Structure 1
Amino acid sequence: MNKMVGLWAHPRSRSTVLERVFIERGDFQVFHEPFAHMAFCEASAIPSDEWDHSLPTTYEGIKAQLIEAKTQGNVFHKDMCYHCLDDLKVDQDFLVQQHNIFIIREPASSIVSHHRVHPDMPLQAIGHKALYEIFCVVTKLTGHVPYVINADDLAAEPERVMRKLCDHLQIEFLPHAMTWKRECPSQWKTWRSWHVAAENSERIVLPDNQQVDSDVLDHSPKLKALYDYHRPFYARMNEFCQ
């Protein structure tokens, strides 16, 4: 039976570089933030690049595209829960037919990184609260705590984390998928300016900027307020990291 893997994330969580591993595998059709097309359009304030007008722009249309793709082979899609929160929260049928994986990153790092790309980001766009809401929905729906990856663990020990994820998904770990050429996959072109580091990477690496991010928060009341609001949701999910 074909698999559908849903990687639910918040912005700047290193979800894109994890997605790149699935692109390199070659045995999954990969969709990059498909539900963003119901949340935004080419005229939205959020930075975007080469907008693909051929993609569906409604929740039902996007979901139908993913389900149809699953009839043809394995599917991997990653998205931000805040893009489709209200619809996703009540769509048990969609959630139950896939492997729901969650990735989190310490909010100090994700918020500072987010601010560099989109300084006018609204509160909900930080994404930890929406991610936690879907985490709770999936927990209640399945009776099991979903699989959670901490992005710092992924960056520090990528092979260990990916091997463990593959075991969880019952798929083969493919060593060749852990390295790649520096290029922009076609899936990323709409949001290319968000993924400069991932586009110019050759593998998953651990940057040394945690202290810098904390210092930035200390000097910005706006960012500190965003951090204080979202960190409890991160902390709760972090208790369940694999």
Structure 2
Amino acid sequence: MNKMIGLWAHPRSRSTVLERVFIERGDFEVFHEPFAHMAFTEASAIPSDEWDHSLPTTYEGIKEHLLTAKERSNVFHKDMCYHCLDDLKVDLGFLAQQANIFLIREPASSIISHHRVHPDMPIQAIGHKALYDIFCVVTKLTGTVPYVINADDLAAEPERVIRKLCDYLEIEFLPHAMTWKRECPPQWKTWRSWHVAAENSERIISPAKQQIDMTVLDQFPKLRELYEYHRTFYARMNEFCQ
């Protein structure tokens, strides 16, 4: 039976570079934020690029698109829970058909990064609250705490983190998937402007150690509000990082 892996993340969490590892593996069909197509259109205020009109635009349509793909191959899909929160949190059948893994990043870092790309993002788009909601749903559904990765650990020790993830998923660790050419995979074209660093990378790298400039949050009062709201949900999930 083919596997389906759902990577649930929040914006600016390094989820795209983790997705790139699964693109490079070659043994998964990879979908990049398919549920964004029910949350946005090419006319939405959020920055987008080459819109993919081949994807369904309803929750049920996107879900069936993924499940149909699972019939022919292993599937990896990465998405943000806030894109489909109301539907996802009651769809236990869909969640039960996949391995659900979660990726978090310290909210000050992700909020500042998000602000650079989309300064007018609404509070729910930060994503930690929605991610925590689905984390709780999966915990109750399975009776066990889901697998959580901290993005800073991924950046600092990518091979260790990916090897451990592969063990958890019961898939082979493939060394060749840890490096790649600088290019934009087809899956990223709709949101290409969000993934400039990932597109120009050749592997997962750890940025130079530096203190988060928290003064940026104070320069923009809205950012401080977003941080204060979401940091509790980050802290709760961070207790369970692998």
Equivalent residue, structure 2, for 1:125: 125
Contact 2:9 2:79 in 1 (8 A): yes
Which consecutive aligned stretches of 4+ in structure 1 deviate over 3 angstroms post-superposition? none
1:153 aligns with 2:153: yes
1:109–1:210 Cα contact (<8 Å) kept = no
The separation in 2 between residues aligned to 1:173 and 1:227, in whole angstroms, is 36
**Does the alignment pair 1:177 with 2:177?**
yes
The normalised TM-score by structure 1 is 0.98
> What are the Cα deviations for residues 64-115 of structure 1, in whole angstroms up to 9, with x where unaligned?
0000000001000000000000000000000001000000000010000000
- Aligned pair 1:189/2:186, yes or no? no
Structure 2: unaligned runs, 5 residues or longer = none
Match of 2:199 in 1: 199
Give 1:54 deviation, angstroms. 1.3
Q: 1:213 & 1:6 partners in 2: Cα distance?
A: 32
- After TM superposition, the score normalised by the length of structure 2 is 0.98
> Is the CA contact 2:9–2:80 (under 8 Å) kept in the aligned structure 1?
yes
Which residue of structure 2 aligns with residue 10 of structure 1?
10
User: Residues 213 and 30 of structure 1: is their aligned pair in 2 closer, same or farther, counting only changes over 3 Å?
Assistant: farther
Following superposition, the deviation at residue 219 of structure 1 comes to 2.7
User: What is the percentage of aligned positions where both structures have the same residue?
Assistant: 85
- 1:219 aligned residue: 219
Indicate conservation of the 8 Å contact 1:10/1:126, yes or no: yes
1:28-47 to structure 2, matched below 5 A, reads 28-47=28-47
2:134 maps to 134
Please tell me the residue identity of whatever aligns with 1:121.
M
Q: Secondary structure of the residue that 1:211 maps to in structure 2?
A: coil
Q: Give the corresponding residue for 2:22.
A: 22
Distance 1:172 1:137 in 2: 28
For 1:149, give the aligned amino acid.
I
Q: Which residue number in structure 2 is paired with residue 114 of structure 1?
A: 114
For residue 60 of structure 1, what is the aligned residue in structure 2? 60
**Alignment CA distance shift 1:28-1:142 (3 Å):** same
Q: 1:177-229 deviations in whole A, cap 9, x for unaligned?
A: 00000000000000000000000000001113652442312332211110000
Mean CA deviation greater in 211-220 or 152-161? 211-220
Contact 1:42 1:51 (C-alpha < 8 Å) held by counterparts: yes
Query: RMSD in angstroms over aligned alpha carbons?
Result: 0.9
In the comparison of the two structures, how many residue pairs are matched? 242
Q: Is 1:234 aligned with 2:237? A: no
Range with greater deviation from structure 2 (207-216 or 177-186): 207-216
**Contact 1:155–1:206 (8 Å) recurs in 2:** yes
Q: Is the CA contact (8 Å cut-off) linking 2:8 and 2:79 kept in structure 1?
A: yes
Equivalent residues of 2:49, 2:190 under 8 A apart: yes
Distance 1:69 1:56 in 2: 13
Deviations 1:38-62 (A, max 9, x none): 0000000000000011110000000
